[in-house]
Structure 1
Amino acid sequence: MPEDYAKADYWYEKAAAQGHAVTNTRTKQLASFDDVPYNDPVLSMIRHTNEAKWLANLGNPRWEYVLGDDYYYGALRLMTSFTKANYWFRKAADQGYAGAEINLAYAYYHGYGVPQNTMTAITWWKKVVAQGGYSGMKAKHYINIASTAR
């Protein structure tokens, strides 16, 4: 039987809207994948389905970031679109998701799908620096590069 993702989405969302227990449980299971490492095979399998789109549309920043990444690289049978990638990166970045903030800053720094603007890029990178960790160190490095290039 050929796969029909649009039809599957339709029935899945219809069942979820009616409060069907299986769909509600599945949503909780998928939302809990925030703790799964990015290169985990289970996560890889799930992120290559329309569930990534569905969860991103629910406002989950991890999945907004994943969907942005998929548009950026043209994964999930999606055409590469910097504009769509930045749309999803911005949604996740507005919720403080560091990976999305870095990618959005990178887009502004290079002008990928948005007007090139080094100061806007640095503003986003500074938000990541404030969060600390490895992403913060990476963002600090990007700020140093951008500052010396001006």
Structure 2
Amino acid sequence: MKKIFFSALLFVSTACFSQYSELLLAAAERGDVGSQFHIGTAFFQGQGVAQNDAKALQWFRRAAEQGLAEAQYNVGQMLQKGRGAAQDNAEAVQWFRRAAEQGLAVAQYDLGVNFAEGLGVAQNDAEAVRWFRRAADQGSVKAQYNLGLMIDKGRGGKQGDVEAVQWFRRAAEQGLAEAQFLLGIHLSAGRGVSKNYEQAYFWLLLAGAHLEKSRDARDLVQRHLSSSQVTETQSRAAAWKPKQP
């Protein structure tokens, strides 16, 4: 299976710890979940206080235990990366699940990744597909791409070129180069969609701006087009902008 992407960013607040440190600490100690989250952010980013992963994790955990989905996700991310505590994929999965069940798309995606790769949980393609789909339905571009990959390979359910192409297209329209590349390949081969060299060339042009592997496929497809088609498609690609999720 092609590479599955991992989320890299935590949720953070914009509060300035140095300006409100005493008030925030007092509120956090009283159990105010927002203040706990803000303090966790301050220690995680080193905002107005010395950067300290262990203290960041401590405060994110306190907010997470009160049910804040973003804090639950942050705890999962930190445990998965071994920041602030020993790496613990199994506990990370537990926190991803709690946030995912509240509808947090990025947690749903990461939970899908863990099931697909067997990280901290028994490998389960059907569960991976289920969580990728929930995140993809909310517009997560990486979930859309990975769901397309799973369906394209028949992992976690019936193989289906048509549905795979639909998910590749949704991710491609948001600007994900890997999805643009695979959409172009399917269009050029007529897999799951009517063969269309002009559209294939368009998507491979876009992908080629970021993926070297797309350029050879783009050049092969170009041979099937007239010079006017090449010029027109290049103009469309130059003016193209990704959709917002």
TM-score by length of 1: 0.69
Report the secondary structure of 1:83's partner residue.
helix
| Paired residue total | 123
Task: Write the distance in 2 (CA, Å) between the matches of 1:148 and 1:31.
Answer: 40
Match of 2:92 in 1: 85
Larger Rg computed on CA atoms = 2
TM-score by length of 2: 0.44
Q: Structure 1 vs Structure 2: percent identity of aligned residues?
A: 23
Task: Write the distance in 2 (CA, Å) between the matches of 1:47 and 1:96.
Answer: 26
The one-letter amino acid of 1:146's match is M
Report the secondary structure of 1:145's partner residue.
helix
Specify whether residues 84 and 138 from structure 1 end up closer, same or farther in structure 2 by C-alpha distance, changes over 3 A only. same
1:73-127 C-alpha deviation (Å, 9 max, x unpaired): 1001x11111000011001111011111111000111111111111111111111
Specify whether residues 56 and 100 from structure 1 end up closer, same or farther in structure 2 by C-alpha distance, changes over 3 A only. same
Report the secondary structure of 1:79's partner residue.
coil
Report the secondary structure of 2:47's partner residue.
helix
Specify whether residues 22 and 83 from structure 1 end up closer, same or farther in structure 2 by C-alpha distance, changes over 3 A only. closer
Q: Does the Cα contact within 8 Å between 1:61 and 1:95 map onto a contact in 2?
A: yes
The one-letter amino acid of 1:140's match is Q
Please tell me whether residue 54 in structure 1 is matched to residue 58 in structure 2.
no
Bigger relative CO (Cα 8 Å, ≥ 6 apart): 1
The one-letter amino acid of 2:80's match is Y
Match of 2:206 in 1: none
The one-letter amino acid of 2:143's match is A
Gaps of 5+ in 1: 1-19
Task: Write the distance in 1 (CA, Å) between the matches of 2:135 and 2:103.
Answer: 8
Deviation (angstroms), 1:131: 1.4
User: 4+ residue runs of structure 1 moved beyond 2 angstroms?
Assistant: 20-33, 39-48
Please tell me whether residue 68 in structure 1 is matched to residue 72 in structure 2.
no
Q: Does the Cα contact within 8 Å between 1:47 and 1:66 map onto a contact in 2?
A: no
Specify whether residues 47 and 30 from structure 1 end up closer, same or farther in structure 2 by C-alpha distance, changes over 3 A only. farther
The equivalent position to 2:29 in structure 1, one of 23, 33, 37, is 23
Specify whether residues 86 and 30 from structure 1 end up closer, same or farther in structure 2 by C-alpha distance, changes over 3 A only. same
1:24-76 C-alpha deviation (Å, 9 max, x unpaired): 4864334468xx8xx96539958651111111111111010000011101001
Alignment RMSD, CA only? 2.8
The equivalent position to 2:149 in structure 1, one of 115, 133, 145, is 145
Gaps of 5+ in 2: 1-25, 155-245
